[in-house]
Amino acid sequence: MIRSTERIAAADVLRGFALLGILLVNMRYVSSPALYNESVKGGAFDRVLDAVVDVLFEASAYPLFAFLFGFGAMTMFRRISSRGKRPIPILLRRFFLLLGIGIAHAFGLWFGDILIPYALVGFIMLFFFAAPPRWWRTAAVAVFFLFHGLMALLLTLNV
């Protein structure tokens, strides 16, 4: 546990805004049969409101939350290292716990679970924590072009 004096207030505030945005995005699925019944589309106002929620909240809350996940993991890695402990076993245990909670959540509560992908990405991040920044940049660029190239190929093939 970290003391309140060690917390990064800006990250906590941003995390709160991201969680609020995710709540607003998911609220339409919880409160509407539209997810389960395609014939329930709503009127023009509903479509405009959906577009506003998509642009203002979904397009910003999810990436912000993902960024904060990586930022938090890196911050934990550095703080654990500075205390003379081995961070990899501690983070590995945390990511396995996150994976277990995600599996329980995905199969027991909600179809839109994000915890499983976060845990899996966390396992991959473990390889990069001690790597120099140029490795991070190289991997980010490679994954970006690999993903977009694969998507372009699939769209070209009409799969």
In the chain, the largest separation of any two C-alpha atoms, in whole Å, equals 60
Are 86 and 72 within 8 A, CB to CB?
A: no
- 90-105 confidence digits (pLDDT tens): 999 999 999 999 999 9
Residue 82 has pLDDT above 80, yes or no: yes
pLDDT of residue 123: 95
Residue-wise pLDDT tens digits, 134-153: 998 899 899 899 989 998 99
- Would you say the pTM of this structure is higher than 0.75? yes
- 35 pLDDT band, cuts 50/70/90, is low
Contacts of 101 (CB under 8 A, 6+ apart): 115
- Measured on CA atoms in the order 81, 86, 87, 88, is the torsion positive or negative? positive
Report the alpha-carbon distance of residue 127 to residue 58 in Å, rounded: 29
